[in-house]
Chains A and B, each alone.
Chain A
Amino acid sequence: MHHFVPDFDTDDDYVNNNHNSSSSSLNLPRKSIMGEDDDLMELLWQNGQVVVQNQRLHNNNNTKKPSSSSSPTKLLQAPIPPSMDNHHQQQQPSTDQNLFIQEDEMTSWLHYPLRDDDFCSDLLFSAATSTPPCATSQVVTAVRPPVPPSNESRPPVRNFMNFSRLRGDFNNGRGESGPKTIVRESTQVSPSATPSSAAASESGLTRGTDGTESSTGLNRKGKAVAMTMAPAIEITGTSSSVVSKSEIEPEKTNVDDKKRKEREATTEEAECRSEETKQARGSTTSTKRSRAAEVHNLSERKRRDRINERMKALQELIPRCNKSDKASMLDEAIEYMKSLQLQIQVMSMGCGMMPMMYPGMQQYMPHMAMGMGMNQPLPPPSFMPFPNMLAAQRPLPTQTQMGGSTPQYPVHASDPSRVFVPNQQYDPTSGQPPQYPGYMDPYQQFRGLHLTQPPQFQNQATSYPSSSRVSSSKESEDQGNQTTG
């Protein structure tokens, strides 16, 4: 930092502030900045969080630089109005969160395509952009494949497809005008990186745009840019990449194919991204497109595999889940979770109450329990699948036998029925005359066959043996208990 301001010997803070806040009048040697940019860029690259600050700094610093194609950090050059900076800052926290979250999902992808930071740094330099604000732009440039260094232009490009896509999200997490910047940069890169780089950046951008819808305004802009390549190019306008513009336009058609594929994959992000990627490609369109498609398919497959894996895990967690259909399984999972929550709530309340219990207390328990979650007068249609339970309130539901094969959970969640059954029906706690046996429990099948304790649930009436689902024999037991109790 210090080297930037040879003149500001006295006040370091001022100097630093100067750097960060104003893009202006730095008479600093560009080279030093550039050198530092390299380092900084790499740092930024490795640590997304850091990016923002440095980017701003760089952007400010870079604005002075001539926008020649060869000059590094073109992306950074875009003059960043102070408002933008503030905007960046504001969005930082929210985007950061998104960033973190997205990172989890993308870790596999991230590690997969890209290993070399140098690669990224080269991109930065190769990017000839003057683009606009966007702190993320720096990162984006890093993302772009360094076509020029391009001895490996092919493989890097391919990697970049995923990478840029990922980075796009990544960037967007931070992201304000990231997407927009990326697109512009890609277009402008033309001379050096041109198609591949542009494509990558664009793809990243598009991804970014889709990814960070939270960062509203910028995203919209980004999307708009992504959608319309040509206009975007013009808008970005700054530097030299007229060539890139021309290249981009013809590629639009290519993008469409890819777009279709991505849509099917149900990845919102992919659509724009793919388009741009294709467009940017330019020269070896067919080969690059196919490669990109390959990569895309691979990443999509990986993503789907992860999701399926998680679905299986969830299915295992849910007792009595015999549904092969994802949606219904998810529904069951939701219900199960609700019932678990309710049960825990009741039990915790009971635990708290216990030490203070006295004979008169029991009257309160059921009321409290009843009041807890069960204000719904009618069982929701979702409980249709368990008609037996509702109907079988008095006589113990025969369905208890269904639970034969279920895993045993010592305490199974509060019944979902508890939630939906009218208060009057709920009566897990004994002591109340109007106890309904039907402690209706759609999930009773989940609970226990194991019955840690005999279902002496209540002394009264038709004790609903929550655990008695196991067999109808329980009924007799309960009744017996009731009489004795």
Chain B
Amino acid sequence: MSSSRRSRQASTSSRISDDQITDLISKLRQSIPEIRQNRRSNTVSASKVLQETCNYIRNLNKEADDLSDRLTQLLESIDPNSPQAAVIRSLING
């Protein structure tokens, strides 16, 4: 894919940028409510989008960690051999 992009780049730099921008925009639309609400697609700035994405991913990671901690605690409170425990473990691990 990179090679194809490179060749494309040689021919039309705008195409690669467009693809990347499209990626960014689709990402925005799907995932980041903040940007979706505030920005119109045309006015989206790449740096802003990237920044929001990084922040969002960090937040997601943190949230996932918190949830796993909670699940771990729950796991301790119940019978380890119960199916529930297995469920919880699965959630934590995956």
Contacts and interface: CB of A to CB of B under 8 A. Distances in A.
A311 B88 CA distance: 35
B37 to A, nearest CB: 8
Interface string B76-88: 0010011110111
B7 to A, nearest CB: 13
A388 B2 CA distance: 22
B64 A343 contact: yes
A320 interface: no
B54 A313 contact: yes
A307 B46 contact: yes
The majority secondary structure among interface residues of chain A is: helix
A439 B93 CA distance: 11
B57 A333 contact: yes
The majority secondary structure among interface residues of chain B is: helix
Interface residues of B, number: 56
B90 A457 contact: yes
Nearest to A348: B67
Given A105-B47, A105-B48, A314-B54, A411 B40 contact: no
The number of chain A residues touching the other chain, given as a range, is 35 or more
29 contacts: A100-B38, A101-B38, A105-B45, A213-B43, A266-B17, A307-B50, A310-B50, A310-B51, A313-B50, A314-B53, A325-B2, A327-B20, A333-B53, A337-B53, A337-B57, A340-B61, A340-B64, A350-B87, A351-B67, A354-B84, A357-B82, A362-B84, A411-B65, A411-B92, A429-B87, A429-B91, A447-B93, A456-B89, A465-B93
Given A330-B24, A447-B94, 5 more contacts: A101-B48, A264-B13, A327-B16, A337-B60, A341-B31
Interface of A: 97-98, 100-102, 104-105, 211-214, 264, 266, 268, 303, 306-307, 309-311, 313-314, 317-318, 323-328, 330-331, 333-334, 336-338, 340-341, 343-344, 346-348, 350-351, 354-355, 357, 359, 361-362, 365, 409-415, 428-431, 439, 441, 444, 447-448, 451-453, 455-459, 464-467, 485
